[in-house]
């Protein structure tokens, strides 16, 4: 027994030693990381000072490897972090330079996060689409320019694509609809032009689609309504025209719909306001007309219902006062008329929710009916 125990310990020690000796990061991965580093300049925190020595898998800041073969799996560099290095420097990160195409030789990469460094410019290396294992691509909060790679759809394992808060221009590549595993798409706050792909609904795993603050034109493809898991759709502050597809009202888990500050016309689909799963709806600053549908029930629950700055006419439906809860209601700057219903969901609302209509009257407006 004793002998077996000692023998086991020896075998284990030998195994541990030989694995650390044999399995250090391959020189090609190390070279790729050093080339990536040399295209960047990080003056305040010194994170790249940890990138020394031959084994890029041990103690290189932001690098993790596959323990079985020591290939680089993850590059995770966040400029906003609670990490000690940031605490010590007493500031958030800042980096200039560009993303070297040398990254593309890290062909086992699953996660590439180079986020919130504020000053990294240049284009997203097009060769990134040849990384077959890439699951997470997060480049939020830099100064990246140029287009999204045309063949981005090749990244068959991608679940997160986040390039928000950059200066990406050009159109949304049509191949994007081939990202069969994509769950989170965030292109917000860029300079993206062109239309939304008509077959965007092919992205059947998507739960968040944030495309706000771009220059996207054309209409909202009704195929989006077929994305069963979509919970959060934000197309606000674009140049989107046409009407709101009625099918959006029958989406099973959609809870946030922001279409504000576009050029939408037509009526608000009845199905949209009767969808009791919808919790935050902002349709403000469009050219929506017609009447407010009379579809509210005791199951109606809105944290936000902002329909301000449209061309809505007629009366506020009495049924709205039967709602279970309405946190923030804004019907101002329309052509509504008649008396404001009384009752609970209206008790806490201020006059500003109703101002600048044609002839609304009653509390909380000063005008008596
Ligand atoms: C709705 O969108 C408008 C215009 O984009 C914005 O000004 C407003 O603050 C939003 N409403 C809410 C409640 O967030």
How much distance in Å is there from the Cα of 25 to the middle of ligand 1?
50
Q: Using one digit for the tens of pLDDT, what is the confidence trace for 86-130?
A: 999 999 999 999 999 999 999 999 999 999 999 999 999 999 999
- Pocket mutation for ligand 1, best pick of 239, 281, 306, 310 (most atoms within 8 Å of C-beta): 306
Residue 357, in any domain of the structure: yes
The atom number, within ligand 1, closest to the CA of 328 reads: 13
How much distance in Å is there from the Cα of 259 to the middle of ligand 1?
10
The predicted pLDDT at position 346 comes to: 77
DSSP string, 31-66: HHHHHHHHTEE-TTT-GGGG--SS-TTSS-TTEEE-
The total of other beta-carbon atoms located within 10 Å of residue 330's CB is 19
How much distance in Å is there from the Cα of 261 to the middle of ligand 1?
8
Kindly state if the Cβ of 328 falls inside 6 Å of ligand 1.
yes
Residue 105, in any domain of the structure: no
The predicted pLDDT at position 28 comes to: 97
How much distance in Å is there from the Cα of 169 to the middle of ligand 1?
25
pLDDT surpasses 60 at 7: no
Look up the pTM and report it.
0.92
Residue 349, in any domain of the structure: yes
The predicted pLDDT at position 5 comes to: 52
Q: Using one digit for the tens of pLDDT, what is the confidence trace for 198-255?
A: 999 999 999 999 999 999 999 999 999 999 999 999 999 999 999 999 999 999 999 9
Residue 139, in any domain of the structure: no
Residue closest to 369 by CA, chosen among 323, 331, 338: 338
Q: Using one digit for the tens of pLDDT, what is the confidence trace for 17-37?
A: 444 444 799 999 999 999 999
Residue 210, in any domain of the structure: no
| Displacement of CA 241 from its chain's centroid (Å) | 22
Residue 359, in any domain of the structure: yes
Contact 223, 247 (CB under 8 A): no
Q: Which domain holds residue 349?
A: 303-369
The atom number, within ligand 1, closest to the CA of 261 reads: 5
Kindly state if the Cβ of 285 falls inside 6 Å of ligand 1.
yes
Q: What are phi and psi of 235, to 5 degrees?
A: -115, 15
Residue 24, in any domain of the structure: no
Kindly state if the Cβ of 284 falls inside 6 Å of ligand 1.
yes
- Pocket mutation for ligand 1, best pick of 282, 286, 309, 310 (most atoms within 8 Å of C-beta): 282
Residue 177, in any domain of the structure: no
The predicted pLDDT at position 71 comes to: 97
Angstrom CA distances, 350 to 268, 298, 326, stand at 24, 22, 13
Query: What percent of the chain lies above the pLDDT cut of 70?
Result: 94
Task: Please state the domain count of the chain.
Answer: 1
Q: Using one digit for the tens of pLDDT, what is the confidence trace for 247-303?
A: 999 999 999 999 999 999 999 999 999 999 999 999 999 999 999 999 999 999 999
CA atoms of 230 and 277, how far apart (whole Å) = 12
């Amino acid at each position: 027994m004793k002998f077996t125990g000692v023998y086991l310990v020896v075998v284990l020690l030998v195994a541990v030693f030989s694995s650390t000796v044999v399995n250090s990061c391959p020189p090609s991965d190390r070279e790729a990381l050093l080339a990536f580093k040399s295209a960047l300049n990080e003056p305040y925190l010194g994170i790249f000072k940890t990138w020394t020595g031959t084994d890029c898998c041990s103690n290189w800041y932001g690098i993790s490897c596959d323990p079985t073969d020591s290939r680089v799996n993850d590059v995770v560099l966040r400029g906003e972090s609670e990490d000690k290095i940031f605490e010590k420097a007493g500031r958030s990160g800042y980096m200039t330079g560009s993303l070297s195409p040398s990254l593309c030789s890290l062909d086992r990469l699953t996660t590439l996060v180079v986020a919130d460094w504020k000053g990294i410019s240049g284009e997203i290396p097009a060769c990134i689409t040849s990384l077959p294992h890439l699951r997470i691509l997060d480049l939020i909060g830099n100064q990246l320019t140029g287009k999204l790679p045309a063949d981005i759809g090749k990244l068959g394992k991608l679940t997160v694509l986040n390039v928000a808060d950059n200066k990406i221009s050009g159109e949304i590549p049509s191949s994007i609809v081939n990202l069969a595993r994509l769950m989170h798409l965030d292109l917000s706050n860029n300079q993206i032009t062109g239309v939304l792909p008509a077959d965007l609904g092919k992205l059947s795993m998507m739960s968040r689609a944030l495309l706000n603050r771009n220059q996207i034109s054309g209409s909202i493809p009704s195929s989006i309504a077929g994305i069963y898991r979509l919970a959060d759709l934000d197309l606000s502050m674009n140049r989107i025209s046409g009407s709101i597809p009625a099918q959006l009202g029958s989406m099973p888990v959609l809870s946030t719909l922001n279409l504000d500050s576009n050029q939408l016309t037509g009526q608000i689909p009845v199905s949209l306001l009767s969808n009791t799963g919808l919790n935050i709806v902002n349709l403000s600053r469009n050219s929506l007309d017609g009447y407010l549908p009379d579809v509210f029930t005791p199951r109606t629950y809105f944290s936000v219902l902002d329909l301000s700055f449209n061309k809505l006419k007629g009366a506020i439906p009495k049924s709205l006062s039967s709602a279970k809860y309405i946190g923030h209601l804004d019907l101002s700057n329309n052509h509504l008329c008649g008396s404001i219903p009384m009752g609970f969901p209206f008790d806490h609302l201020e006059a500003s929710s109703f101002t600048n209509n044609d002839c609304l009257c009653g509390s909380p407006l000063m005008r008596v009916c």
